[in-house]
Structure 1
Amino acid sequence: MNPHYALQVNADGKLRHFLTVEGLPKELLTQILDTAESFAGVHAQQVKKVPLARGKTIVNLFFESSTRTRTTFELAAKRLSADVLNFNIATSATSKGESLLDTLHNLEAMQSDMFVVRHNASGAAHFVARHVAPHVCVVNAGDGRHAHPTQAMLDMFTIRRKLGRVEGLKVVIVGDIKHSRVARSQIHALNILGAEEVRVVAPKTLLPPQPESLGVRVFHDMDEGLREVDVVIMLRLQKERMAGALLPSEQEYFHLYGLTEKRLARAADHAIVMHPGPINRGVEIDSEVADGERSVILQQVTYGIAVRMAVMSMVLGNQASSLREGE
């Protein structure tokens, strides 16, 4: 059995934690998308809440800075009617030397039901999931270069909403593949959901070793990689994770790999443009494209709330059966 599956899914095949897309079946990913669909209209209601997590306590454990991800997780939890605790790492006991496990156990003692974990170390969310009490669920909000599963799923949801499906589409991911946990999760999700072809476009210095092993077709020429694709996903240069000079300059990078209206014309007429954010305008994408009619970048942020509501409601709803398994 795939180890990622075993840790995340309980005996009756339901989601116990959400740590990575890798190793999960198409049926579970489709269930997340379908559940998100039921939440997509909540933001338009006068009372933007449903009672599915009433009485539950969700803790945002962000050991790495974030704006969009933390705030959308917080909004999603509140719209599920949960109590939310944002754990400030800078002023917490961990800054005084308390271990991560001691911090977790103290939060468990406060009757927390879920930890949303963001950490700069790959595998951190898996570590937490292996050590939490049986009544606690864990959702990965991004760990090092490894995975960002809810971002990948909100991207899949955006594609399905805009183009009607993921299956059979040609998708290109452009930019810093090497350092991007988002790209890894997107690639896994696209392949599981049946995309016809997943392409990556990047200079060799921004590709991981043997990128083809991820299930992608590699291009170094931007114009060739964009030809007739249905979806263009641009990535931010992860300069904070780069060691050494991997690029000659940002200007040269934009010249070779920046998305402009002229370049976008090589994609299919119905192609959409996506970006997980934050955007570096004039580095990976031109403002005319980012703000253009084919851009769905702001919709991604909106849909992120519905997808995170879906994931949290699913794992919290499966909490009881997981506890019975441990009896």
Structure 2
Amino acid sequence: MEKLLSAGDMTPEAVEEIFQRAKTFKEKGIPKKYDSEWVLMFLEPSTRTRLSFEKALRRLGIETYLFSSEGSSMKKGETLRDTVLTLHAQGFEGVVIRTPLNGQFKEIEDIPVKVVNAGDGTNEHPTQALIDAFTLKEVFGDLKDLKVVYIGDTRFSRVFRSGLKLFKMLGAKVGIAGPRSLKLPHAEALGVDRDFNSVDEALEWCDVAIFLRIQKERQSRPLITSERDYLKYFGLTEERANFLRQKGKYYMHPGPVNRNVEIASPEVYGKNSLILRQVENGVFVRAGVIDFLYQS
């Protein structure tokens, strides 16, 4: 396996191998194993994903080079394919790519260079799905029949699309909730087990709730009328967070969080929040992915 472009690229066995590597790295540290060079090509803003990939690669002994479209020939019209071919000719072994366009990776599928999808448009974000599943495996031990509900913007969320594929592969149940304007149409046909009209019903059903950021940058027009009302009807209020704690349930968010929109500000890192644990595990899981691509 040379590229990780979709959560669907992996088998359950491959996922388990990545998890085992991540677990070992977390417990014993990440050793310097590879004398190579990779490019971090982020064509959209990023904090957590870019820095965790950079740290993971460097811990593995890999030298990293940051690529920005603003200062590159892509600004002059060069295609992603020609850019990656150029990087390959220069001797780079791998590229981590984030792009605002869905399906752009089809241009580079045949190029003999390692590639990890760090998010493509509204399509997929496979390493975030791996991080979320790894974190929940730490908490629950087994993901089979675990009830995971995504709350919020499933219509534009690449995190949700990758998470749905991965959690279903690992035997979990997946539900969604949120305003109709931000819901993925025909979700049940894609494998969603429950489509809730009420966030409170969804929280009653789930073992863990993953709140999603409203993807304003992908909307041609505003799809919610009021951010204050959004928190009241669809967000994690203090009352809902207390309910989750009382029932022994957990909540997550891939970040960045719009405070007092998706989650009430005091609850972002409250008890039973796994958000910082997701961030912590990002380095180990992404190091596990890179190591797996070299070894598989």
**What TM bracket, shorter-length normalisation?**
over 0.9
Say whether the 8 Å CA contact 2:148–2:209 is kept in structure 1: yes
Residue of structure 2 aligned with 1:203, choices 179, 185, 205? 179
C-alpha deviation, 1:228, in angstroms? 4.2
Alignment of 1:1-327 (within 5 A): 15-22=1-8, 24-42=10-28, 49-53=30-34, 55-130=35-110, 132=111, 134=112, 136-195=113-172, 197-216=173-192, 217-267=194-244, 269-318=247-296
Deviation per residue, 1:105-153 (Å, 9 max, x gap): 22111111111111001112343223x2x2x111100001110000000
C-alpha deviation, 1:260, in angstroms? 1.8
The 10-residue stretch of structure 1 (224-233 or 301-310) with the greater mean CA deviation from structure 2 = 224-233
CA distance in 2, matches of 1:207, 1:127: 29
Report the count of equivalent residues.
294
Say whether the 8 Å CA contact 1:62–1:88 is kept in structure 2: yes
CA distance in 1, matches of 2:225, 2:56: 41
C-alpha deviation, 1:317, in angstroms? 2.3
The 10-residue stretch of structure 1 (140-149 or 62-71) with the greater mean CA deviation from structure 2 = 62-71
Which amino acid in the other structure matches residue 263 of structure 1?
A: R
C-alpha deviation, 1:162, in angstroms? 1.6
CA distance in 1, matches of 2:178, 2:277: 25
CA distance in 2, matches of 1:66, 1:153: 18
**Identity rate of aligned residues, in percent?**
39
Say whether the 8 Å CA contact 1:118–1:125 is kept in structure 2: no
Which amino acid in the other structure matches residue 316 of structure 1?
A: Y
Deviation per residue, 1:251-295 (Å, 9 max, x gap): 111111010232234447221111000011100101222121111
What is the match of residue 3 of structure 1? none
Say whether the 8 Å CA contact 2:40–2:66 is kept in structure 1: yes
Say whether the 8 Å CA contact 1:116–1:140 is kept in structure 2: yes
The 10-residue stretch of structure 1 (25-34 or 298-307) with the greater mean CA deviation from structure 2 = 25-34
CA distance in 2, matches of 1:118, 1:42: 30
What is the match of residue 9 of structure 1? none
Alignment gaps of 5+ in structure 2: none
TM-score (norm 1): 0.86
Which amino acid in the other structure matches residue 84 of structure 2?
A: L
Which amino acid in the other structure matches residue 122 of structure 2?
A: R
CA distance in 1, matches of 2:195, 2:242: 20
Q: Secondary structure at the match of 1:22?
A: helix
CA distance in 2, matches of 1:116, 1:277: 19
C-alpha deviation, 1:167, in angstroms? 1.4
The 10-residue stretch of structure 1 (302-311 or 58-67) with the greater mean CA deviation from structure 2 = 58-67
TM-score (norm 2): 0.95
Q: Secondary structure at the match of 1:199?
A: strand
C-alpha deviation, 1:23, in angstroms? 5.2
